[in-house]
Amino acid sequence: MTVQGKFTILPEGTVTTPKGFTAGGLHCGLKKTERHDLGAIVCEVPASAAGVYTLNAFQAAPLRVTQESIAAGGKLQAMIVNSGNANACTGQQGEADARAMRAAAAEALGVAEHHVGVTSTGVIGELLPMAKVLGGIAKLPQRVKADGGDDFCQAILTTDLVQKMTCVRLSVNGKAVHIAGAAKGSGMIHPNMATMLGFITTDAEIESEYLQLLLSRVTDNTFNMITVDGDTSTNDMVVVMASGLANNEALHPEHPDWEAFAAGFQYVGEYLAKAIARDGEGATKLIEVSVKGAETDNAARAIAKTVIGSSLVKSACFGADANWGRIIAAVGRSGQRVNPDTVDIRLGDIAVLEQSRPVKFDEEKAAEYLKGDTVNIHIDLHMSAGQATGWGCDLTYDYVRINAAYRT
């Protein structure tokens, strides 16, 4: 148990730690292995809900169905998810299949159909084998339980090597409030709201409009600041459900504990985003790019994502090559205004550029630093107060191997 300012991190927490939530997963036959490929999060009451979705023009059918459910009243009571098949670019049949999943889950779990969200992840352009999916949904009620967070996390994975989840506890009006999250993502990661899915649960009392406000803000600073390969998926989505069972006074931006809740929410989003970046396909290290001194925060975001998305920067980090020229080149092509005479760059604590001029540094020391499992690149533009941080990973031989045979 770790305390970080306004909240406490619960290492053993899962998406079922907040009051009112259960979860589970099972193997229904979508994957060739026996790993879980169908899961659900269920709340005992209709929960306030909010979501953010991919900006890819080819938005997968399940996302449209989930948006429709949330729009019906700002509530969700269950999220049903499958892995192994994205149900994307599947036309009218794909949309009918997503709706059939929603209807089947509603019946099996005993909740209203418009209180069910649906999402899928996996191969694009293949119809779901609905007999297997519907058969699995019928069995889900027996697998959804209070300690089912791990099974749910397994059910959402594709090429991921590790499960990604976290949980925090804080006080709101003297009541214990929890915020938990689970995510999947390893490749096709470059969100604009990669193949990225995120699920956040909380027992806080909060209306959907304020939940959406907070989710959108946190997404801009976390999930939208990661990149693995520059590809934005058809299925990216983050959904949050708030049961309200902590019995606190309803949260809103003027509430005295709003900032504490927002800090906990930010931590959950950032933890999951960094976990996705660290688990990038074939990755050996997490790369964090911090930019300050930009004209605006948006400019800093664009610069950070350009640097972290550069194949040359990523390759240099993989090879432990302190080639700062690749970094400054990425800054210069970011499309943002910079002063070419005032840029500083550090690799960890090692200065390699000051006021846009090379600094003598120990190449062996820099190479040793770059061999670590986390690389921090610091960029100071010395122009104004804009700042942002982005996360990504190195580009390795294994990334090509994994994606050269993704369907097989």
- For the chain, the domains span 2-278, 286-404
pLDDT of residue 169: 98
Let me know if 195 is a catalytic residue: yes
More confidently predicted of 152 and 193: 152
pLDDT of residue 1: 58
Question: In sequence order, what DSSP letters do the residues of 78-143 get, joined into one string?
Answer: EEEEEEEE---S-HHHHHHHHHHHHHHHHHHHT--GGGEEEEEEEETT----HHHHHHHHHHHHHH
Whether residue 381 is predicted with pLDDT greater than 50 in this model: the reply is yes
- Flag the least confident range among 1-5, 140-144, 325-329, 345-349: 1-5
Left if phi > 0, otherwise alpha if psi is -120 to 50, otherwise beta: which for 358? beta
Whether residue 164 is predicted with pLDDT greater than 80 in this model: the reply is yes
What CATH fold (topology level) applies to the domain 286-404? Ubiquitin-like (UB roll) (3.10.20)
396 by DSSP, 3-state: which? coil
pLDDT of residue 317: 95
- Contact status, residue 379 vs residue 352, Cβ threshold 8 Å: no
| Catalytic site residue from 8, 54, 195, 219 | 195
Position of tokens 């970094």? Answer: 327
pLDDT band at 58 (very low <50, low <70, confident <90, very high): confident
Whether residue 3 is predicted with pLDDT greater than 90 in this model: the reply is no
- Flag the least confident range among 8-22, 29-43, 187-201, 328-342: 187-201
Q: Which of 169, 404, 326 is nearest to 263 (CA)?
A: 169
Instruction: Pick the most confident of 100-109, 178-187, 229-238.
Output: 100-109
- Contact status, residue 146 vs residue 160, Cβ threshold 8 Å: no
216 by DSSP, 3-state: which? helix
Write the CA distances from 10 to 1, 17, 223, 321, 344, integer angstroms.
5, 9, 21, 37, 38
What value does the mean pLDDT of the chain take? 91
Position of tokens 């980090």? Answer: 317
User: Looking at residues 183-196, what average pLDDT do you find?
Assistant: 57
- Flag the least confident range among 67-76, 261-270, 281-290: 281-290
State in words which class domain 2-278 has.
alpha beta
Whether residue 55 is predicted with pLDDT greater than 90 in this model: the reply is no
